[in-house]
A and B are shown apart, each in its own frame.
Chain A
Amino acid sequence: MPGLTRRQTLQGFAGALTGAALTVDRAPMARGAAMADPVQAALVRFAWVSDAGTPTPFQVSTVGPGGAVLLSLLYDTLTWKDGEGIIPWLAREWAASDDGLAYTFRLVDGATWHDGRPLTAEDVAFSFGYYARHPYTWMTTEAVESAEVVESGTVRVTLKRPYAAFLEEIAGIVPIVPRHVWESVADPIAYAGPDRSIGSGPFALAEHDQTQGAYRLVANEGYWRGRPLVREWRQLTVPAESQVRAVQQGEVDVSFGTDASVREVLSGDARLAVFETAPLSIVRLAINTERAPLDQVEVRRAIAYALDRRRIAETITRAPAIVGGVGVVPPETPWYNPSLPPYEYDPDRARDLLGGRRHTIDLIADAAAREPDLMQPMLEAVGITLRVRRVDAATRGQLLNEGDFQLALTSHIGVGGDPDYLRRWYAGEEANAFAQGSIFRNAEYTALGEDQAATPDAERRRAIVFRMQEILAEELPTIALYHRRFYWVYDPSVFTPMATWGGLMNGVPFPNNKLALVGT
């Protein structure tokens, strides 16, 4: 993978501000970097597997990424991402102070809320202040100290400490909300006013069928970037088993799957196409490094060698295997370190590492997970008896949070975006859902984690992040079994999918980046 190959310098804007130059790193995605010109369409029906809740930043469903991505069509953020990196959005330009503690954003002209009122710097400053009291569940703004209006159309956000991920993770994810709606709202979780979904995004909420989890969005004619190409966007809740069939029967236009063989299933259908995303989903074993025998690195390595991860991946994804990166970061993503030890399948080496000792290890896994059924015979062959305990997601969440486990099989998205998650997973105090079960103490790793978060320079940060991946590969506090792509089945006559650099939001492999619906 080329990694960070192209860098682009955006000039800081002149004026009374401390004019520091800001660098934005842009790296091409491995595939689908260049997007075809998006098509125009009167109506696109998008299917997702679960209900997204009420589309406001405070009431959106906390189950799955469907809600957060839906919000991105209704609301705008200061920055955004295209196929190659971070791009200006509501902020037409920005500058960071030399110490990395303050970011000054100059907003675009002509942005308005869906009710016609102008979007101002006051709204932006208000949003960060409001999120400090009422957190946005999808992205914490804890790093933000304060936000204030510098002059008309200009906002300065001050951080508690330098945070390299700020532009991508906070400025690019946290929706800016209208001050005139929320200012007087004390309990945003319960707020039911008719103006609660007013944003500034390219689409406005027209109807929400709560019972069926269906949303009808209409184009925002006065959108500051121009009239959206898609006139109406619907998000519908369709159970996983009906997704592909629904798009085949014309009930929806875009549907989702994780199974590569959808290509064969659709091979006779000239009307539909399949869009495969970068492998932003990870299926991994979380390891409790404080429980014997897993406190010995030899045992952890033996497990890695004993598992034929290629075969597990091929069997379950029905696609060419993308064997898990032992440094957690998936291949084909911007921060992947390609020179890590591969831990190829080698049962003899596993037996050597175990030195003839037998172990019995407990694994907690989802009731439907098939990986344990494949892993059991492989581990048995090297002298490890795997006892599988089936639990549901919430039970697993609790066990992992409390550290009450030995091995846990977990699969999730959220890798591939800004690599700060490598720090957060093992930082301990943060109860990050993706980080659940990450029990690993390593002084060098912790220090490097702090270091990269405070390093704005991309090249230096990259070196640190690569070293962190090396430590993960040596110590194996988690073993990535494989990475998954999402396969989106769509009708090319109405929808043009788009790959986003490192995934939408925080590594979400959805194809509906709003750029593809608005045009560039």
Chain B
Amino acid sequence: MRPDLIRLLARYLLLVVGVLLLNFLIPRLLPGGPLDFGAGEGTDSGVPLSGAARAQLRSYYDLDEPLRHQLVRYLGDLARGDLGRSIARPAPVGALIVDRLPWTVGLLLMSLLIAAAIGTTLGVVAAWIPGRPWARLLVSLAGALAAIPEFLVAIGLVLVFSVELGWFPLLGGRTVFAARGGDAPGVVWRVLDVVWHLTLPAVALVLVGASSFVLLARDATAGVRHAPWLATARSKGLREREVVRRHAVPNIALPLVTFAGLRLGSVLGGALVIERVFNVPGLGLLSYEAVRTRDYPILQAVFFLSSLAMLAANLLVEIVYLRLAWRSGSAHG
């Protein structure tokens, strides 16, 4: 176990270093710099920077230094936990991310859990009692849903429920400045407000995400149902329920947990398309804007954090997986 674990960790360490370097380099490969976001299309024309102001800003953000100096500074700052300052909207990157983290994490986590719960249940049921028309309908539906690009699902929802019916708000993640004239709204009101704002994006994510779980759980269950070792278990005289609980479920659970775990790791990458369509102030939207404005510090930070989360999820899955594999391996041994 030990040498394996060390090798594992060494590999991940190497990955972290690679991620750091890529995160530093890729944004700087972008054509144009943070101060080149000049005359945009009419509505977002940039500031007419004068030569002097430009020079001053370049030196303020260390953009005039050689790349390796910038890299050293970036790594040094990072080591001290300082993510730098955004260039397009002068504010500490750390604060910007902390502001947006709850939106992305809350939204994606919530919809991931719901999608996993609904999808898995439906998938298992559909596979365990196959052939029923509704089971086939369900699976076909999941398949069809998986054939629609995410942004079309999202826009469809906005169109029907926000634009036409007006049931849900068009704007943002919560009602801004809800506290008017001193009477601050209660906690319950605020929670409900956020839920009301995030319902549609969550539904979109659940719709798209649940179809994966349905199909995955269906396949996993179907694959396991007639496995010889289940037959063995049955022949031992176990009741069907016991068979499912003690033998089938652990085997279905593993791929699902793995899948969910890895999806969890990608949560910090944000849900760019969903955030864009529903105007949710999450990390995806932040990095989208940062690419447009060449905001290196934000790009570095968001990419680094989301890569780190992805690595952590992978590591976790790998460790859990090792343990589970051993256990179920010995169970059949």
User: Which candidate, B27-35, B204-212, B309-317, B320-328, is the interface stretch facing chain A?
Assistant: B27-35
Among the listed A59, A63, A398, which residue makes an inter-chain contact with B44, where contact means beta carbons less than 8 Å apart?
A: A63
> In the complex, A393 Cα to B279 Cα: how many Å?
22
Q: Number of B residues contacting the other chain (C-beta, 8 Å)? A: 53
Known interface pairs A239-B279, A412-B42; A209-B177 also in contact (CB < 8 Å)? yes
- A140 in the interface (beta carbon within 8 A): yes
Among the listed B36, B57, B96, which residue makes an inter-chain contact with A397, where contact means beta carbons less than 8 Å apart?
A: B36
User: Which candidate, B2-10, B83-91, B266-274, is the interface stretch facing chain A?
Assistant: B83-91
> In the complex, A101 Cα to B93 Cα: how many Å?
44
Query: Is A190 touching B43 in the complex (CB atoms < 8 A)?
Result: no
> In the complex, A412 Cα to B44 Cα: how many Å?
8
Query: Is A394 touching B52 in the complex (CB atoms < 8 A)?
Result: no
Among the listed A283, A394, A398, which residue makes an inter-chain contact with B292, where contact means beta carbons less than 8 Å apart?
A: A394
| A249 contact set on B, CB distance < 8 A | 166, 170
| B48 contact set on A, CB distance < 8 A | 138-139, 414, 432-435, 506
Query: Is B50 touching A242 in the complex (CB atoms < 8 A)?
Result: no
| B57 contact set on A, CB distance < 8 A | 137
Query: Is A368 touching B41 in the complex (CB atoms < 8 A)?
Result: yes
- A164 in the interface (beta carbon within 8 A): no
Among the listed A62, A189, A214, A240, which residue makes an inter-chain contact with B43, where contact means beta carbons less than 8 Å apart?
A: A240
**Residue ID in chain A nearest B96 by CB atoms:** A210
> In the complex, A135 Cα to B52 Cα: how many Å?
8
Mask for B3-39, Cβ within 8 A of A = 1, else 0? 0000000000000000000000000001111101111
Mask for B38-64, Cβ within 8 A of A = 1, else 0? 111111111111111110110010000
Within 8 A of B (CB), among A224-262: 234, 236, 238-240, 242, 245-246, 249, 251, 256, 258
Query: Is B163 touching A142 in the complex (CB atoms < 8 A)?
Result: no
- B171 in the interface (beta carbon within 8 A): yes
Query: Is B176 touching A397 in the complex (CB atoms < 8 A)?
Result: no
| B45 contact set on A, CB distance < 8 A | 64-65, 412-414, 433-434
- B265 in the interface (beta carbon within 8 A): no
Known interface pairs A63-B293, A212-B173; A394-B36 also in contact (CB < 8 Å)? yes
- A54 in the interface (beta carbon within 8 A): yes
Query: Is B32 touching A61 in the complex (CB atoms < 8 A)?
Result: no
Query: Is A62 touching B49 in the complex (CB atoms < 8 A)?
Result: yes
Q: Which of A211, A391, A397, A401 has the most CB of B within 10 A?
A: A211
| Interface magnitude class on chain A | 35 or more
- B94 in the interface (beta carbon within 8 A): no
Query: Is A436 touching B176 in the complex (CB atoms < 8 A)?
Result: no
**Residue ID in chain B nearest A135 by CB atoms:** B53
Query: Is A397 touching B38 in the complex (CB atoms < 8 A)?
Result: yes
- B103 in the interface (beta carbon within 8 A): yes
User: Which candidate, A45-53, A327-335, A349-357, is the interface stretch facing chain B?
Assistant: A45-53
**Residue ID in chain B nearest A43 by CB atoms:** B180
**Residue ID in chain B nearest A437 by CB atoms:** B39
> In the complex, A63 Cα to B42 Cα: how many Å?
11
> In the complex, A216 Cα to B89 Cα: how many Å?
18
Output the least CB separation between A464 and chain B (Å).
22
Output the least CB separation between B228 and chain A (Å).
55
| B166 contact set on A, CB distance < 8 A | 249
Query: Is A251 touching B38 in the complex (CB atoms < 8 A)?
Result: no
> In the complex, A59 Cα to B90 Cα: how many Å?
5
Known interface pairs A216-B177, A251-B171, A283-B42; A432-B50 also in contact (CB < 8 Å)? yes
| B173 contact set on A, CB distance < 8 A | 211-212
- B261 in the interface (beta carbon within 8 A): no
Known interface pairs A63-B46, A401-B36, A432-B49; A210-B91 also in contact (CB < 8 Å)? yes
**Residue ID in chain A nearest B89 by CB atoms:** A53
Q: Which of B39, B42, B57, B171 has the most CB of A within 10 A?
A: B39
Among the listed B49, B51, B90, which residue makes an inter-chain contact with A53, where contact means beta carbons less than 8 Å apart?
A: B90
Query: Is A397 touching B37 in the complex (CB atoms < 8 A)?
Result: yes
Query: Is B30 touching A242 in the complex (CB atoms < 8 A)?
Result: no
| B281 contact set on A, CB distance < 8 A | 211-213
- B99 in the interface (beta carbon within 8 A): yes
Mask for B188-216, Cβ within 8 A of A = 1, else 0? 00000000000000000000000000000
- B297 in the interface (beta carbon within 8 A): no
Query: Is A140 touching B99 in the complex (CB atoms < 8 A)?
Result: no
> In the complex, A215 Cα to B33 Cα: how many Å?
28
Query: Is B43 touching A209 in the complex (CB atoms < 8 A)?
Result: no
- 6 more A-B contacts (CB under 8 A) besides A63-B40, A394-B34, A434-B38? A245-B170, A249-B166, A392-B32, A394-B32, A397-B38, A433-B48
9 contacts between A and B (CB under 8 A): A50-B43, A50-B44, A63-B46, A136-B53, A210-B96, A234-B176, A395-B30, A397-B36, A431-B51
Chain A to chain B: the 9 pairs with minimum beta-carbon distance, closest first: A394-B32, A140-B50, A397-B36, A397-B38, A433-B38, A135-B53, A398-B32, A412-B39, A412-B45
